[in-house]
Structure 1
Amino acid sequence: MSLDLRELATAIRNREWTATEVTEVALRRIREVDGGINAFCTLDDTALAQAEEIDARLAAGTEVGQLAGVPVGVKDLLWTKGLKTTFGSRLYADFVPDRDDVAVECLRAAGAIVIGKTNAAEFGYGGIGRNDLFAPTCNPWNTELSPGGSSAGSAAAVAARMVPLALGSDGGGSVRIPAALCGIFGMKPSFGLVPVYPGCRDERYPGQSGWEGLEHIGPMTRNAADAALALSVLAGPSQYDRHSLPPLGADWSDLDAGRLLGARIAFSTDLGFAVVDPEIRAAVEHAVARLGSSFEAIEEAHPAVGNTETLLDTLVALDTDRAGLRAMAERQGVELGGWLGSILERTWTGDQFSAALMERKRVVNVTARFMQDFDFLITPSTAATAFPGDGFGPERIDGQAVAPSAWVPFSALANFTGQPAASVPIGFTSDGRPIGLQVMGRRLDDRGVLALCAVVERLFPRVSWPGPPLKNLQVAGSTNGQG
């Protein structure tokens, strides 16, 4: 599966390959490598039938969508009609939805082949991709390391070239964090640009109904152009999502750097408080220096919002059906642990929640005033690179003992404000771990973010090459480890 999304879609539409042939290749790739990665938790046994239908329509000259015949992965937090959707939780181990999530409907309407569900943290609560139902997802660059989360399976599936596109969801960085650790492109669009339903919106389902005020669905691809193509399919309003927005136009393909003329760019390697790995800091500074040859207005600056970790924790708790989850877990005899368990165990007060809402308003307003002077804010995507897969985060960064969540200080800001943000690969540490650069733009300037990321990709072309070597794996039919 060496072609990127756009190339593959074009080849199928031009009938250079059939959708059935492409789907068979994707399934074979999954069989060859996923036993050591665990990106997919459930495969769709109708995938070949979906592909045959696309081939029949192409043969008949019937109009097909922009993604016709392209195999895609869907994070296991998003509903898929007739295909088991567990949300990474034993509470929903046998749940089979009777409808698709709106974003999945959009993929199917565009002719994409939903090949399976990708592994995720339980209900998305966590920056890693582990749960109690399935084997943990491993990082394709080195299977002893974590791929990040919660969209771990989607990132790993794209990085290992099983599929050219996978959907992720992002309530505090869950698209951008695993994209950075797995060396791929991942974008959280502006809040409301891609509609969300039933996930986050259906009160009948405790656990999966959380994150409403923070959640975004976004594409995980090999490059910015592929994400633009995916967003041209995904963006648009839905009557089920009161936050959804009208589309920002039908053509997302124009990522010409000319739209960035006169752009004002701020950058910060730590947002004024974060402890950051020196190799990440150096890589970001190098990327900024390279961008300086194309953009005159780049300066070191950041919005004075401070550390928002506690704010994220409280807002997530506010959005969680804690009573419903407790009752459901008690009925089924299931113990909920980790971050979700801590949210359920704590006694929260109305004053805590109202204070968090006021703090979010402060963060939004401070950032909005800052963005009056800048079009983009560049930071690292994460403060540390991939760490051992059995941990929740590195114990030390730059020689300092840190909290388990200290490695993800940059991503939640864009969830609070609803601004578009993406992670684009810019290099590697000395021991070969991918490094991501986060680009955040003004609200609704998703095309600007994509265009700037495309510039970064041109500066670092080797990183945007589709597909890393697969360490610690025996890949059938491969002599060089690259499939």
Structure 2
Amino acid sequence: MNPIEADTGADSAADEICRLSATETVALIRARALSPVEVTDAVLARLAAVDGELRAFCTPTPDLARAAARRVADAVSSGEDPGPLAGVPLGVKDLICTKGIRTTSGSHAYADFVPDEDDIVVERSVAAGAVVLGKTTASEFGYAATGGNPLFPETRNPWDTSRTPGGSSAGSAAAVAAGLGPVALGSDGGGSVRIPAALCGIFGFKASMGRVPVYPGCRDERFPGVSGWESVEHIGPLTRTVADAALLLSVLAGPDPRDRHSIPCADVAWTARRPTGRLRIAYSPDLGRVAVDPEVRRVVDAAARVLERDLGADVDLVDLQLPDYSEAFGAIIAADTDLVGMREMADRLGPAMSPHLTALLRTPWTAEQFTRAHLVRKAVANRTARLMATYDLILTPTAAVAAFPVGTRGPEVIDGRAVPDEHWTSFTPLANLTGLPAASLPAGFTRDGLPVGIQLVGRHLADGPLLDVCAAYEEAAPWRDLWPPLRASVTTQRTSPNSLNTPSGASALT
């Protein structure tokens, strides 16, 4: 391992600020016990000190952040309501549009693109008092599950900077894991919130399809690449606590006429409470076909026992009997893509476009492939619906492996089996194909000290109950005080709370 041992130059008070949750930050700012300017300055100091190695932010906006923090401070001073996210530092994935702030989508085609409007989620976050720190890195147009793109240096994992943080919301996950803001926005078309959450040891949540509106991303036909993924795309929070995700979702969720897929959310309280009643959980460690690293399987098996022991759940080892949707998922992504516009872009950019993306665009797709893919999607949705009539949740690993070296798209061999590209991401597309709510929760560490996540998939529109279960698991196996060693000067204490196998590089602030 090569954990970050950077000295931020900040004192212990600033370190404490960077380790506050969003809910704690809001409470302290509202009580006038902490200034939003002080919060922003502390996080920006941490960002300046460690992000040269992490590369979580591709376009930091410190001046805009300080100005926003001053506006929140003025609101507090004048007795105005500063909003539910008052002074909370927020990273925004570079695929999500920000008015007046460069949004490149990790592509040379949009290297100088500055949107003239915010995405709905940014608009709502800023109105709620959040302080945008800047744009976080992502793979090119989100078409990879790692942190590399042709435009910027590859993002690194805070637990081991020789390894990937996952993707495509790579920078958002790395930033939250490293204390560069308590929350960040990511997008998830096939696991791009949940996968980096798992590899970075934080919480990631994808609400039901339509709960969080998306626009102009995926919806604006003027922008090839940016307009892809529409039938599977979601925007969701990456956080250090379940309560913080619930807080952010309470701001983000709700219909908007600019997103024809958006739906009401009056049935969701967006709180994190202990669930009532006995849960039935279908546990599939490998979907019957996925090669899984034995260390990941060990940690996920232990998490299943926590759900049984501490939550009183009935966890059944279940053959989900799902069709292999890997090829169908690729075809659905292609069908959602502006193939004409993006093929012209590929011709123009040549080797300056990611090779795997060029390969997808150059595939001679047929109508039969697209229609067959949609039939597979229907079969997956129907089988899952029948299963969820019996079970409250599906439990799987979030990813088949822990973080692997940067510069690659994943291991070629897992548990002795040769596997195709991104085979390790096979678990997460299930929730995108079905639109079901899903979360990735930190479950423990490999013996090499790398985070492992579990995925919980909830019933149709059962976002609230899923958050409740996540909160109960977090209480039973707490992770929020397990940090990569961000500073050599911070006093640390090695801990092993409940089922979590704390690595030698993890630290708990005393």
TM tier relative to shorter chain: over 0.9
Is 1:272 equivalent to 2:288 in the alignment? yes
Aligned to 1:437, the other structure's residue is in SS state: strand
Give the Cα–Cα distance (whole angstroms) in 2 for the partners of residues 131 and 346 of structure 1.
21
Aligned counterpart, 1:24: 41
Range 81-90 or range 279-288, more displaced: 279-288
Is the CA contact 1:90–1:334 (under 8 Å) kept in the aligned structure 2? no
Aligned counterpart, 1:282: 298
Q: What's the TM-score once normalised by structure 2's chain length?
A: 0.90
Is 1:390 equivalent to 2:394 in the alignment? no
What do residues 19-64 of structure 1 show as CA deviations (whole Å, max 9, x unaligned)? 1111101100101111110000001231101111111111111122
Range 189-198 or range 244-253, more displaced: 244-253
Q: 1:248-327 counterparts in 2 under 5 A? A: 248-249=266-267, 251-258=269-276, 261-293=277-309, 294-327=311-344
Is 1:212 equivalent to 2:230 in the alignment? yes
Give the Cα–Cα distance (whole angstroms) in 1 for the partners of residues 269 and 127 of structure 2.
17
Q: Which of 314, 317, 339 is the matching residue for 2:356?
A: 339
Give the Cα–Cα distance (whole angstroms) in 1 for the partners of residues 312 and 323 of structure 2.
27
Superposition CA RMSD, Å: 1.6
Q: 1:143 to 1:74 in 2, by over 3 A?
A: same
Give the Cα–Cα distance (whole angstroms) in 1 for the partners of residues 222 and 405 of structure 2.
37
Give the Cα–Cα distance (whole angstroms) in 2 for the partners of residues 383 and 341 of structure 1.
26
Is the CA contact 2:157–2:174 (under 8 Å) kept in the aligned structure 1? yes
Is 1:4 equivalent to 2:21 in the alignment? yes
Q: What's the TM-score once normalised by structure 1's chain length?
A: 0.95
Give the Cα–Cα distance (whole angstroms) in 2 for the partners of residues 97 and 296 of structure 1.
47
Aligned counterpart, 1:238: 256
Aligned counterpart, 1:69: 87
Aligned counterpart, 1:194: 212
What do residues 327-378 of structure 1 show as CA deviations (whole Å, max 9, x unaligned)? 2344566643333211211111111111111111111111111111101001
Q: 1:138 to 1:223 in 2, by over 3 A?
A: same
Is the CA contact 2:58–2:137 (under 8 Å) kept in the aligned structure 1? yes
Deviation at 1:476, TM superposition (A): 7.8
Give the Cα–Cα distance (whole angstroms) in 2 for the partners of residues 116 and 257 of structure 1.
36
Is 1:456 equivalent to 2:482 in the alignment? no
Structure 1 runs (4+) greater than 3 angstroms displaced = 248-251, 328-335, 475-483
Give the Cα–Cα distance (whole angstroms) in 1 for the partners of residues 471 and 65 of structure 2.
32
Is the CA contact 1:120–1:153 (under 8 Å) kept in the aligned structure 2? yes
Deviation at 1:76, TM superposition (A): 0.2
Is the CA contact 2:325–2:377 (under 8 Å) kept in the aligned structure 1? no
Identity of aligned residues (%): 51
- Structure 2, unaligned stretches of length 5 or more? 1-17, 493-504
Deviation at 1:210, TM superposition (A): 0.1
Give the Cα–Cα distance (whole angstroms) in 1 for the partners of residues 145 and 77 of structure 2.
45
Aligned counterpart, 2:130: 112
Deviation at 1:283, TM superposition (A): 1.4
Is 1:417 equivalent to 2:444 in the alignment? no
Is the CA contact 1:281–1:380 (under 8 Å) kept in the aligned structure 2? yes
Deviation at 1:257, TM superposition (A): 2.6
Aligned counterpart, 1:138: 156
Is 1:85 equivalent to 2:112 in the alignment? no
Aligned to 1:57, the other structure's residue is in SS state: helix
Deviation at 1:265, TM superposition (A): 1.1
Deviation at 1:300, TM superposition (A): 1.1
Give the Cα–Cα distance (whole angstroms) in 2 for the partners of residues 52 and 384 of structure 1.
43
Q: 1:129 to 1:76 in 2, by over 3 A?
A: same
Is the CA contact 1:266–1:301 (under 8 Å) kept in the aligned structure 2? yes
Is the CA contact 2:55–2:137 (under 8 Å) kept in the aligned structure 1? yes
Aligned counterpart, 2:15: none
Counterpart amino acid of residue 464 in structure 1: R
Counterpart amino acid of residue 395 in structure 2: I
